[in-house]
């Protein structure tokens, strides 16, 4: 049975919400941002699930009855020293998505974008809390976590999604995949986290943990 | 006396040859001599309490090895091995670790299943002769509650409760040590402590906080530092000497039970036993009992010396038909919204009442308490007269709740007080007797006294009580106000416990009730009201509280009051602008740019009154505004949400024009059919583009998301579209663009094709044969205009 953790959302990060809405540090109605974050908390149905697998960093294989090969130069470099990987999935459900659409259709365009951004922030926070929940177990074994990496980022293709869903058992928290490899509900993620231990033979490859690996240079949320 | 625990077992078993992947607890049966040897080494090192090798011996954990049915046998053997090694020289603590799963709603494990699992294990450990039950390494307060309740029910030996904290000094699920100490003390833990995760240095401050918040003995079992991986093995680096160096500090902080967790050996234990010899039991200052309530992650204290605490009353379906109907239909959305909104308005505690006729109140209370606790950190007040609903709420709540309420009626005392005791809840004492509501302050004091006496007989004590002053209607009894005020004063003199009450009853039947309510509130604050139950949205009450706090010295020098008043005086932006000084069309343009849709309706009416026609307003004010916004957006001076506010203002303007001049058809720049392509369910980006186009003078036909290319083609032909806008967000869906472009050509459409979406690039658009690529909605408007002009 895969561990499930549906973390409480006691707050949603305003700064990240601003970033995802493309606001950066611009002056904007703070009450609207607050309201969007609070509505996102109200409507979110947070769910998270994960499992730990052995990983062969030479062959890039996630060990399983049906092994899963990780393809992509950036992701395999990022996992270069991992002995195990966590494969996780997280979602805030579809209710919030419906509210985004409803607000927009009723003419609250800006608010709708803020709510959408708050929902995105919420999914990432759910994933953060999952990492925190796993930390004690893996820390006791001497492992540390590399930052989480999702299909579609860098050159890791979306064709990894079916395997990511299978290995995280994302279906059991209500996440499915469309024919075009999109996660549904839309505010969902899958991700892989490499577990490494101190070992002085091979250095860890440190990819910059920011937006630089992403080709979408005109993204409104890109960190400068 | 300082009690010395043992250290780690797991690492010693591994060095004794336990195979990785084998069940460590099965050794209790298969090779008891190995376990006994480990225990013996600890006794020889000076351990006074041995922990059994049963950390993972719950049926839920043993099931991983197919050993669930041998649970009792394994636990019995574990206790036997420890007792044999102890030879009477050490006590034996039966160890119970986490189930490895989170309890609902955090995870998928039912609270009752966790309870039953721990109950069975505790029963087996106690029956085998354990001297203590130790519940340890728990990362979730709710799991600890299930285990503690189970252990208390299964056995009558002392229970030690040890949570594990992360480096942020909270457990994984967010509990801080103060909240843990208060919650577990109230729930009946005999010793409260901390183990694992961190080394001794990091645990000193946690021990201190635990000791400051409970009178119970404190236990601590640190790891031998933070783990490192050396030569293929996980190693805890602290030497016995380094480890033991922290013993005096841990004792000084309040610990009287000390041992070790991961990475500690008999040598570590020997070292701390030696270090502890020179230490006397920690001085524990007797804490002044204060009423403290907790949620999973927060503690709220109610006390005369502290700022007034607001109890939000809005989660109550009484007299609220819509809310009642919604709850009855199974939706808690409005309940959760009230929770969030009341806290935002200043409530520190939330009253939860599910009193609806014809529903299962126990079920409703359990669900409400569970769901509210997922979205707020405010401790809850379980408001019910139904004992089953009360128990359901208390059992489900991952904290220390307040019971609203316990009256002096014998039936209520008999059913509610044992539940308060069992679940560690505080009680709101309501001075109503079997004869009814006492009319004088003295009689109310008597009634409360009888409640307190009964409560103390059930084991409740100072710090568990909140006294209700009882408010009657002044219109029916002119003494009602004065008796309540006297009641509050007498409570303070007689008992010294904090006070509460709902206020609005006082003004029933009188005009201008808010004035009566707030005046009464001010009087009550002066008479000693500590935690009013009110509607936190009531601005007048909020202001009265702020002024009252300044007057009564709870807000030194009136600082908060002054800050609140000066905030109110900040002029709004809208008030600064002077639209009157501007030409009306220029004012409309400015309002659109500023995204001020509140102002725009009047301005549009004014412009029409001045004789402007639709096209003039559109071109000179609205389109001109959008052009300017487009330039600023392109230059990075304004951002998407600001552009959208402007679009909202434009929309408001167009709707107003349409309302006032229905006959004048706005000239359309052209017709756009827009859609998110087949396979793609993103529609926010497409909606933004559609809204901006529609508000820039284009006729829009929005087909929606996940649209077949054939549907797009037929819509383009049918509407004689000038432009077809296609949106694709992902690499996997943008190939649909090629298909639609092709199909449009084949069908003989003359429409220009504009494409966009996160994954789409100019290069891709060119290769697909599209006429334009729009990186964002503002660019889409500009490009659409150009495409039309080219025709």
CATH number of the domain enclosing B719: 3.40.50.280
CB of B779 within 8 Å of any CB in chain A?
Answer: no
Give yes or no: residues B704 and B774 share one domain.
yes
| Res A21: pLDDT | 95
pLDDT tens sequence across B111-142 = 999 999 999 999 999 999 999 999 999 999 99
CB pairs under 8 A between A and B: 166
For B199, name the nearest residue in chain A, comparing CA atoms only.
A140
Helix/strand/coil (H, E, C) string of B419-472? Answer: HHHHHCCEEEEECCECCECCCCHHHHHHHHHHHHHHHHHCCCCCCCEEEECCCC
CB of B576 within 8 Å of any CB in chain A?
Answer: no
> Where are the strands (E) in B494-610, listed by range?
499-502, 531-534
Give the domain CATH number at B95. Answer: 3.20.20.330
Distance from CA of A138 to the nearest CA of B (A): 10
| Res B329: pLDDT | 95
Interface of A with B in 110-129 (CB under 8 A): 110, 112-114, 116
Give yes or no: residues B524 and B580 share one domain.
no
Spans in chain B with pLDDT lower than 50: 571-579
What is the DSSP code (8-state) at residue B613? Answer: -
Radius of gyration of chain A (CA): 18
Give yes or no: residues B543 and B524 share one domain.
no
| Res B581: pLDDT | 60
Looking at the partner chain, which of A23, A139, A142 has a beta carbon nearest the beta carbon of B641? A23
The label of the residue with tokens 């694709």 reads: B728
Interchain contact, B645 vs A110, CB within 8 Å = yes
| Res B229: pLDDT | 76
Tokens of A51: 């499992």
Give yes or no: residues B86 and B200 share one domain.
yes
pTM reported for the whole predicted model: 0.91
Distance from CA of B430 to the nearest CA of A (A): 32
- Find chain A residues with C-beta within 8 A of B777's C-beta: none
Give yes or no: residues B437 and B498 share one domain.
yes
CB of A176 within 8 Å of any CB in chain B?
Answer: no
Q: Which domain holds residue B579?
A: 574-660
Interchain contact, A107 vs B108, CB within 8 Å = no
CB of B641 within 8 Å of any CB in chain A?
Answer: yes
Interface of A with B in 62-81 (CB under 8 A): none
For A137, name the nearest residue in chain B, comparing CA atoms only.
B197
CB of A211 within 8 Å of any CB in chain B?
Answer: no
Question: Of B323, B390, B380, B329, whose CA–CA distance to B358 is shortest?
Answer: B329
Question: Looking at the 3D structure of chain B, how many domains does it have?
Answer: 5
Interchain contact, A142 vs B688, CB within 8 Å = no
Interface of B with A in 396-415 (CB under 8 A): none
Give yes or no: residues B638 and B604 share one domain.
yes
Element (H, E) at B218: strand B218-221
Interchain contact, B639 vs A142, CB within 8 Å = no
Give the domain CATH number at B446. Answer: 3.20.20.20
CB of A144 within 8 Å of any CB in chain B?
Answer: no
pLDDT tens sequence across B220-279 = 999 999 888 777 777 889 999 999 999 999 999 999 999 999 999 999 999 999 999 989
Whether B51 and B24 have beta carbons less than 8 Å apart is answered as no
Give yes or no: residues B375 and B518 share one domain.
yes
Last residue of a domain, one of B593, B625, B660: B660
What residues does each domain of chain A span? Answer: 14-196
Give yes or no: residues B590 and B512 share one domain.
no
Residue B751 makes CB contacts below 8 A (sequence gap 6+) with B673, B716, B721, B722, B723, B724, B744
Give yes or no: residues B252 and B395 share one domain.
no
Residue B656 makes CB contacts below 8 A (sequence gap 6+) with B600, B601, B604, B605
For A214, name the nearest residue in chain B, comparing CA atoms only.
B759
Interchain contact, A9 vs B375, CB within 8 Å = yes
Give yes or no: residues B259 and B347 share one domain.
no
Last residue of a domain, one of B640, B660, B680: B660
Looking at the partner chain, which of B341, B640, B648 has a beta carbon nearest the beta carbon of A21? B640
Interchain contact, A26 vs B638, CB within 8 Å = yes
Interface of B with A in 199-258 (CB under 8 A): 226-230, 234-235
| Res B89: pLDDT | 96
| Res B576: pLDDT | 46
Residue B79, domain member (yes or no): yes
What is the DSSP code (8-state) at residue B618? Answer: I
Interchain contact, B681 vs A140, CB within 8 Å = no
Give the pLDDT band (50/70/90) at residue A154.
confident
Is it true that domain A14-196 has CATH number 3.40.109.40?
yes
Give yes or no: residues B250 and B360 share one domain.
no
- Interface confidence: ipTM more than 0.95: no
- Find chain B residues with C-beta within 8 A of A7's C-beta: 106, 173
For A141, name the nearest residue in chain B, comparing CA atoms only.
B234
Residue B51 makes CB contacts below 8 A (sequence gap 6+) with B5, B6, B9, B82, B93, B95, B134, B136, B259
pLDDT tens sequence across A119-131 = 999 999 999 999 9
| Res B420: pLDDT | 98
CB of A155 within 8 Å of any CB in chain B?
Answer: no
Residue B569, domain member (yes or no): no
Tokens of A14: 């305003």
Give yes or no: residues B375 and B331 share one domain.
yes
């Amino acid at each position: 049975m895969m561990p499930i953790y549906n973390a409480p959302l006691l707050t949603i990060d305003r700064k990240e919400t601003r970033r995802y809405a493309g606001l950066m540090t611009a002056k904007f109605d703070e009450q609207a941002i607050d309201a969007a974050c609070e509505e996102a908390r109200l409507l979110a149905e947070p769910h998270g699930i994960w499992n730990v697998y052995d990983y062969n960093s030479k062959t890039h294989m996630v060990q399983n009855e049906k092994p899963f090969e990780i393809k992509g130069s950036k992701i395999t470099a990022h996992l270069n020293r991992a002995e195990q990987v966590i494969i996780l999935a997280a979602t805030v459900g579809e209710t919030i998505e419906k509210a985004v659409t409803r607000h927009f259709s009723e003419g609250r365009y800006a608010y709708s974008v803020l709510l959408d951004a708050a929902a995105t922030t919420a999914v990432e926070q759910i994933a953060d809390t999952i990492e925190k929940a796993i930390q004690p177990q893996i820390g006791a074994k001497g492992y540390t976590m590399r930052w989480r990496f999702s299909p579609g980022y860098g050159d890791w293709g979306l064709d990894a999604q079916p395997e990511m869903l299978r290995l995280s058992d994302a279906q059991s928290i209500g996440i499915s995949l469309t024919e075009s490899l999109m996660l549904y509900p839309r505010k969902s993620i899958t991700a892989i986290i490499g577990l490494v231990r101190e070992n002085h033979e091979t250095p860890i490859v440190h990819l910059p943990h920011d937006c630089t690996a992403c080709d979408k240079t005109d993204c409104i949320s890109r960190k400068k | 006396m300082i009690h010395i625990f043992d250290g780690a077992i797991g690492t010693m078993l591994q060095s004794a040859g336990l195979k990785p992947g084998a069940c460590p607890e099965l050794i209790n049966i298969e090779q008891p001599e190995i376990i006994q040897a480990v225990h013996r080494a600890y006794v020889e090192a000076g351990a006074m309490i041995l922990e059994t090798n049963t950390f993972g011996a719950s049926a839920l954990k043993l099931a991983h090895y197919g050993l669930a049915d041998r649970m009792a046998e394994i636990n019995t053997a574990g206790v036997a091995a420890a007792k044999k090694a102890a030879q009477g020289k050490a006590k034996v603590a039966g160890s119970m670790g986490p189930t490895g799963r989170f309890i609902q709603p955090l995870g998928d494990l039912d609270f009752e299943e966790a309870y039953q699992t721990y109950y069975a294990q505790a029963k087996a450990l106690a029956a085998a002769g354990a001297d203590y039950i130790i519940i340890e390494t728990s990362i979730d307060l709710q799991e600890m509650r299930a285990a503690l309740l189970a252990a208390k029910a299964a056995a009558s030996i002392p229970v030690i409760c040890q949570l594990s904290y992360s480096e942020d000094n909270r457990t994984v699920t967010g509990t801080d040590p103060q909240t843990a100490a208060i919650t577990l003390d109230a729930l009946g833990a005999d010793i409260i402590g901390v183990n694992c995760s961190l080394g001794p240095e990091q645990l000193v401050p946690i021990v201190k906080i635990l000791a400051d918040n409970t009178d119970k003995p404190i236990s601590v079992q640190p790891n031998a530092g933070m783990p490192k991986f050396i030569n293929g093995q996980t190693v805890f680096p602290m030497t016995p000497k380094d480890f033991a160096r922290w013993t005096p500090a841990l004792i000084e902080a309040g610990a009287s039970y000390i041992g070790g967790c991961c990475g500690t050996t008999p040598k570590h234990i020997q070292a701390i036993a030696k270090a502890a010899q020179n230490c006397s039991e920690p001085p524990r200052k007797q804490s002044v009992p204060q009423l403290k309530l907790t949620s999973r992650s927060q503690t709220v204290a109610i006390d005369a010396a502290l700022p007034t605490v607001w109890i939000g009353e809005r989660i109550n379906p009484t007299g609220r038909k819509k809310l009642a109907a919604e709850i009855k239909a199974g939706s808690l959305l409005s309940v959760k919204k009230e929770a969030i909104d009341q806290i935002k308005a200043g409530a520190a505690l939330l009253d939860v009442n599910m009193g609806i006729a014809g529903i299962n109140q126990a079920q409703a209370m359990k669900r409400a308490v569970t769901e509210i606790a997922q979205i707020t950190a405010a401790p809850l007040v379980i408001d019910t007269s139904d004992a089953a609903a009360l128990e359901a709420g208390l059992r489900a709540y991952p904290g220390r709740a307040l019971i609203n309420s316990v009256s002096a009626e014998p039936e209520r005392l008999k059913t509610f007080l044992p539940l308060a005791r069992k679940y560690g809840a505080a009680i709101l004492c309501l001075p109503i007797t079997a004869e009814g509501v006492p009319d004088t302050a003295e009689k109310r004091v008597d009634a409360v006294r009888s409640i307190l006496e009964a409560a103390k007989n059930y084991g409740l004590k100072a710090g568990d009580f909140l006294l209700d002053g009882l408010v009657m209607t002044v219109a029916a009894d002119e003494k009602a106000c004065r008796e309540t005020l006297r009641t509050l004063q007498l409570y303070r003199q007689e008992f010294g416990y904090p006070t509460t009450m709902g206020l609005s009853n006082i003004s029933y039947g009188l005009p201008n009730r808010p004035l009566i309510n707030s005046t009464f509130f001010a009087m009550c604050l002066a008479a000693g009201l500590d935690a009013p139950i009110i509607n936190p949205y009531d601005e007048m009450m909020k202001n009265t509280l702020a002024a009252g706090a300044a007057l009564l010295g709870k807000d030194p020098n009136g600082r908060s009051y002054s800050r609140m008043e000066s905030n109110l005086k900040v002029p709004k932006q809208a008030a600064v602008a002077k639209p009157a000084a501007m030409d009306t069309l220029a004012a409309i343009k400015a309002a659109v740019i500023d995204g001020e849709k509140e102002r725009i309706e009047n301005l549009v009416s004014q412009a029409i009154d001045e004789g402007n026609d639709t096209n003039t307003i559109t071109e000179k004010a609205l389109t001109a505004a959008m052009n300017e916004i487009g330039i600023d957006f392109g230059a990075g001076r304004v951002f998407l949400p600001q552009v959208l506010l402007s679009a909202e203002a434009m929309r408001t303007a167009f709707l107003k024009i349409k309302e006032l001049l229905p006959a004048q058809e706005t000239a359309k720049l052209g017709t756009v059919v827009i859609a998110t392509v087949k396979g793609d369910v993103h529609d926010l980006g497409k909606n933004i583009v559609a809204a901006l186009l529609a508000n820039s003078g284009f006729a829009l036909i929005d087909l929606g998301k996940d649209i077949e290319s054939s549907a797009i083609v037929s819509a383009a032909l049918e509407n004689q579209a000038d432009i077809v806008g296609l949106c694709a967000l992902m690499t996997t869906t943008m190939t649909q663009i090629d298909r639609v472009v092709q199909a449009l050509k084949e069908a003989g459409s003359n429409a220009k094709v504009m494409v966009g979406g996160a994954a789409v690039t100019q290069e891709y658009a060119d290769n697909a044969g599209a006429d334009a690529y729009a990186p964002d909605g503002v660019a889409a408007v500009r490009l659409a205009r150009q495409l039309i002009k080219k025709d």
